[in-house]
Chain A
Amino acid sequence: MLRRLAYVLTIVLGLHTFDVSAERFDRIDVELLSEVTSVQPGEPFWIGVHLRPDDGWGTYWKNPGEAGLPTRIEWDAGSGGHTSDTQWPFPDRIEAQGVASYGYYEDVLLLSRVTPSEHLRPGDELSLSAEVSWAVCSDICILGDGSFQLTLPVSGGDASVAPQKHQLFEDARSRLPREPDAWDSTFVRRNDTIRLRIQADGFAAADWESAEFFPASSRILEESAGLRNAEITDQGIRLTGQISRNAPDDLHQISGVAVLRSAAGGTEAYSVRAYAATDDTGSVMPATTSAAPGDYHLLIALLMAFAGGIILNTMPCVFPVLSFKAVVVMESPERGQHTHQMHGLFYALGVISFFLALGGVFYAISAKSETIGWGFQLHSPWFVGLLAYILFTLGLSFSGVLSFGNRLMGVGQSLTESGGYVGSYFTGALAAVVATPCTAPFMGAAIAYALVQPPLHALTVFAALGAGMALPFVLLVSVPGLGRLLPKPGPWMVVMKQALAFPLYLTVIWLLWVVGQQTGPMGMAILLGGLLLICFVAWLQNLPRGQYRFTTTLAARSLAAVAIIGALGLLALPTMPPIDRTPGAATTNSEWQRYSAERLERLVAEGQPVFLNVTADWCISCIANERTTLSATTVKNGFSEAGVALMEADWTRPDPEITRLLDRFNRKGIPLYVLFPGSGPDGNPREPVVLPTILTPGIVLDALESIETDNTNQAARPTSP
């Protein structure tokens, strides 16, 4: 009673200082809280959903264990900022009559880190919301859901912490798993047993009495046995348990949280990502050669990445840059074979270093977030805008209206100078940057493989991708016979350079369209404004020198600098609000229904054949497949005759539900095409068929024919009594 009274008082008192959303539901109080009472632009702070079940009742962790339903929260800060994924304090183990669950028997604060936009101004308000659904259980379970809103004023001074909430947030943060320093984790699976080995040199074993591991996903452990039979030494921790009978055979990696408990009742939790090992010494197990996606042998993954890299050279944004660079390097006078090879080497270094950097960032983020996939960088309108600027500037340079001397783009004037190699390096990096929108065939599977490997293996795959991309250029400039195939230098080079500008402009139009899809007409107009500023810089540069003193003055340069800063600043404007996309926008066809996991499951459960297209506006391969295959009359008729429902998952902007879908098929990138063939003879849904990333009408029609054949056989089969 006192507890309830105190709670009500807290809410009432809280209302005097800031807007709080709280509600009493059946057996649980739920409240959206902020640690601060006012926010500062760009200064991150914490919010949380406080779940306070009645005594004897509990809620569940992200992996609920043998039974339970995880609490789900959709955080939203609108255009006023960015919210992180839910940060889960480590759970307790709840056992009742042989059923083991992971959850919270007492109150819990599930956290999100909010970064308010830099563009907020004092006097503005930041509106936050959380859509929450939960199961609260004791002897019975009750489902609940609710929407909670919170509005915080933006202040010019320091963000003020709400004292009555601060301790609550401190406590919740102290239960968040930490990233351990230099822990090396492996696991060994022997029949039904799993042994997790966490090697941490200099580990203070005396401080800890027990340890337990909570897997981040279900179907890894037999939760009733758990993974808590711990051996703690100064070298680290060994935990032994029982593997789930439903664990996949090709389990390469497990992640979760290791919780250490001291005799005095202290606890610490650490994130653990362990890789399959052959033995207890921790040597990493070579991946099997099973053909399942994401389960390729390292060598196969490297070959796939390498082949994917080679194919990237043919992409419309990359080809002009490379072809012209190759001609310039080969045809410049006073070149020796050695110089050509050095250009090739520096170019390759540029490509590989960019892919290593991008791969490293992606690997690091994907280790912490389950809702990221390859192409993540194109989810940001500002990144797409920046790509458009780079390609447009490059196009203007090719058209001859903007020049950079021998810097950066290094299109050729002074390659004998020492800066020429640097130019080749940056050409490589630039080619890799502009290639990022294109997930060539094979790359997706190779990247998916890389992300579940130890860092060294993962980076090797990304390096192979870069090496593949660099290969054609390196061969062209290094092998004498190939270089001679190129025509002799002459005025045609100027014409070719100008002509190659047009594929670049075409790519800019496509990127403008992508930003338009992501942000609406306003974002597109802003990007056009930025491109206009680049034209302005070109005009300033082309004013006849000497004729106007003005052009040689500081003013012209200052104006150019202001224009460039302005163009970059435009990308950071808070005018890129996401817009609701209509289903099937990428295919512009109303026959395509929008993807939802529930809808897909329902159709599959009903025995309905479904063709699923996971696409995005920034994915060239996806658009090419949609234009050449999925829109083809023969394919449309094929879908119609086979009675296939068409479903499209649009990943133009980040969407955790779609990322989970990709995970289900061991993919980290798109396109992804899956045909769910409907029910089998036993009435149960048949296994889905994953189609190749590059489609032809023949591939789709063959797949459709196979399900029709099966259905015919099924119909012809005598029915059982």
Chain B
Amino acid sequence: MLLGNAEPRNVRTLFLALVSWTLIWGLIDAADAADITHFEHPPSAPGFDLPDISGTQWSLDDFGGQLLVVNFWATWCAPCVRELPDLAQLHKSTNGAEVTVVAIAMRQLAVDIEEFLDARPEMRDLGFPLIPDRDGQTTAAWDVSSLPTSFILDGDGRIHYKIVGDPGWTSPELHQKLEKVAEP
């Protein structure tokens, strides 16, 4: 037995060391999964004015007064596709702060998104607008170079968080962040 002759105190120390190691690496891993930038002085968002795949025109002003998540994605981007169901849950969730989601597809056409939805019909009822950014100008204006990248905006259209990667949209940590942004 590996620990058969060890003093109980040493065993406890080893156990604590292992737990600390696991926690530290767990935190590092979590940080690796998403790169979250918090703005102490939230800047105004660049805005957008684009039609979604059904032709409805959307702009940032349409979401005034709402806690908003602007998600930049693409149909070819596997990590983006994976987080869409979580974003849908966030959008539909009525617990805590009410959150609205819009998803802007970088340099893609409405037909690309339609084809994607044909291949994955379960994504048809995400519940939030899917907006193609055909020429990529809106994506560039928001300074997005990696996908997925999301922004958490307050009701005045100011950016509180920039999140590169999937932060775990249904996690309690994220809900805390959202509630903090929603606070008057």
Contact = CB atoms under 8 A, between A and B. Distances in A.
Partners in one complex: yes
A140 B76 contact: no
Nearest to A96: B78
Interface string B40-70: 0000000000000011000000000000000
A98 B79 CA distance: 11
A245 B120 CA distance: 9
B79 A245 contact: no
A99 B119 CA distance: 12
B79 A683 contact: no
B6 interface: no
A246 B116 CA distance: 10
Nearest to B164: A140
B134 A602 contact: yes
A101 B81 CA distance: 12
Interface stretch (A64-72, A108-116, A179-187): A64-72
Contact of B147 (A64, A97, A98, A141): A141
Contacts of B104: none
A142 B109 contact: no
B111 A137 contact: no
Interface string B71-115: 000111111111000000000000000000000001001110010
A320 to B, nearest CB: 49
B79 A68 contact: no
Interface string A646-658: 0000000000000
Nearest to A142: B146
B111 A605 contact: yes
Contacts of A98: 82
Given A246-B118, A602-B109, A137 B134 contact: no
B110 to A, nearest CB: 5
How many interface residues does chain B have, given as a range? 20 to 34
Contacts of A279: none
B150 to A, nearest CB: 11
Given A219-B119, A246-B118, A683-B55, A140 B78 contact: no
B31 to A, nearest CB: 11
A601 B146 contact: no
Contacts of A101: 78
Interface in A585-638: 601-602, 604-605
A135 interface: yes
Contact of A140 (B55, B111, B165): B165
A158 interface: no
Given A26-B145, A97-B82, A605-B134, A137 B109 contact: no
B32 interface: yes
A99 B33 CA distance: 17
A141 B79 contact: yes
A142 B145 contact: yes
Contacts of B148: 140-141
A140 B149 CA distance: 8
B76 A139 contact: no
A97 to B, nearest CB: 5
A68 B106 CA distance: 14
Contacts of A605: 109-111, 132, 134
Contacts of A142: 145-147
A246 B119 contact: yes
A403 B109 CA distance: 63
Nearest to A95: B78
B146 A604 contact: no
Contact of B74 (A97, A141, A244, A246): A141
B154 interface: no
A135 B76 contact: yes
A685 interface: yes
A142 B165 CA distance: 11
A244 B80 contact: no
Contacts of B81: 67, 99
Contacts of A141: 74, 76-80, 146-148
Nearest to B75: A67
Contacts of B106: 143
B133 interface: no
Interface string B150-181: 00000000000000111000000000000000
A118 to B, nearest CB: 42
Nearest to B56: A683
A434 B33 CA distance: 64
Contacts of B78: 66-68, 96, 99, 101, 137, 141
A2 B165 CA distance: 28
Contacts of A64: 76
A605 B54 CA distance: 11
Given A601-B109, A683-B54, A137 B119 contact: no
Contacts of B79: 96, 137-141
A142 B147 CA distance: 6
Nearest to B119: A246
A219 B118 CA distance: 11
A139 B165 contact: yes
A140 B119 contact: no
Contacts of A99: 78, 81-82
A135 B165 CA distance: 15
A685 B113 CA distance: 13
Contacts of A143: 106, 145, 147
A135 B32 CA distance: 19
B117 to A, nearest CB: 11
A219 B116 CA distance: 11
- Most A Cβ at <10 Å: residue of B109, B146, B147: B146
Contacts of B55: 683
B77 to A, nearest CB: 4
Contacts of B118: 246
A96 B109 CA distance: 26
Nearest to B81: A67
B82 A601 contact: no
B86 to A, nearest CB: 11
Interface in A672-721: 683-685
Interface in A130-172: 135, 137-143
B54 to A, nearest CB: 7
Nearest to B107: A143
A246 B148 CA distance: 26
B140 to A, nearest CB: 12
30 contacts: A26-B146, A66-B119, A67-B77, A67-B81, A68-B78, A69-B74, A96-B82, A101-B78, A135-B77, A137-B79, A139-B32, A139-B34, A139-B79, A139-B165, A140-B147, A140-B165, A141-B77, A141-B80, A141-B146, A141-B147, A142-B145, A143-B145, A245-B119, A246-B118, A246-B119, A605-B111, A605-B132, A683-B55, A684-B114, A685-B111
Q: Which 9 pairs between the two chains have the least Cβ-Cβ distance?
A: A67-B78, A683-B55, A141-B77, A69-B76, A99-B78, A140-B146, A141-B147, A140-B165, A605-B109
Interface of B: 32-34, 54-55, 74-82, 106, 109-111, 114, 118-119, 132, 134, 145-149, 164-166
Given A26-B145, A96-B78, 14 more contacts: A67-B75, A69-B74, A69-B77, A96-B79, A98-B82, A135-B77, A137-B78, A139-B79, A140-B148, A141-B80, A143-B106, A246-B118, A605-B110, A683-B54
Interface of A: 26, 64, 66-69, 96-99, 101, 135, 137-143, 219, 244-246, 601-602, 604-605, 683-685
